[in-house]
Homo-oligomer: A and B are copies of this chain.
């Protein structure tokens, strides 16, 4: 059997009892290393499981799937994934490959940012499509996220904005010389995300993510030092919510007063929050 097991949001204690029980009976255990590097230490997992854990980077998951799935028709193999297993297309590919090899697959679910974001008090059913924001580079400043947010905004819905993570990046020089030397990982901050959103708004001027738009930012969701920020995009652009990972929500116009009341406890500037929140309720 091939198991895809969600590790949840934060550390080794976020696995479920079912997940832990399953890991313990597996002959091989892989840890998807794309986002996990930051969050859980391989050594801590190994200590908890009493087993060796093999780090699998994106390259390995994408190009060596047969190695990962090897013998999984006769023994138990687990792939551990931060959050929930089906958060990334990569794992859908693995499942399809396993099926081709006639290997049975089972998923063990866990919390991910896609549902835990409800912790900020915004109702999950009122979120539209999720958008991703990449690091802007000199000549690479894609605006497609803006169009998707615009679709949500037109329906009054909230938008979860997932922020870029750069792991195993190579500098142009190292890439050109074929040197497998990697840059340190980079995680987009909520504040940079707000700046990029405001930059595109300034270019497009369609009143989608303005300096006065209400937003929420969550840092280190599910951890002991989780932080929730509520305020305007302008405030967020100037505010540091600490170490990664961060996520951002743009609040939709159809927000209820109960949602705003919940958010208010996280307002970075109460007076400004109340001023702006009022304009949302007066619509």
Chain A interface (Cβ < 8 Å from any Cβ of B): 6, 8-9, 12-18, 20-21, 84, 86-87, 89, 92-93, 95-96, 99, 107-112, 114-116, 118-119, 121, 123-132, 151, 155, 157, 162, 221-222, 258-259, 261-262, 265
Q: Contacts of A124 on B, CB cut-off 8 Å?
A: 86-87, 114, 130
A18–B11 Cα distance when bound, in Å, is: 9
Q: Contacts of A221 on B, CB cut-off 8 Å?
A: 109
Q: Contacts of A115 on B, CB cut-off 8 Å?
A: 84, 86-87, 109, 111-112, 114-115
Q: How far is the CB of A105 from chain B (nearest CB, A)?
A: 10
A93–B12 Cα distance when bound, in Å, is: 30
Q: Tell me if B119 and A86 are in contact (CB < 8 A).
A: yes
A129–B254 Cα distance when bound, in Å, is: 12
> 8 smallest A-B Cβ distances: which pairs?
A86-B118, A109-B111, A125-B130, A115-B115, A13-B18, A109-B116, A114-B115, A13-B17
Q: Tell me if A129 and B128 are in contact (CB < 8 A).
A: yes
Q: Tell me if A95 and B262 are in contact (CB < 8 A).
A: yes
> Can you name 26 A-B pairs with beta carbons within 8 Å?
A8-B16, A8-B110, A13-B17, A13-B18, A13-B21, A14-B17, A14-B18, A15-B16, A16-B16, A16-B110, A84-B111, A95-B262, A96-B261, A96-B262, A99-B265, A109-B115, A111-B112, A111-B115, A114-B114, A124-B130, A125-B129, A125-B131, A125-B132, A128-B157, A129-B157, A151-B155
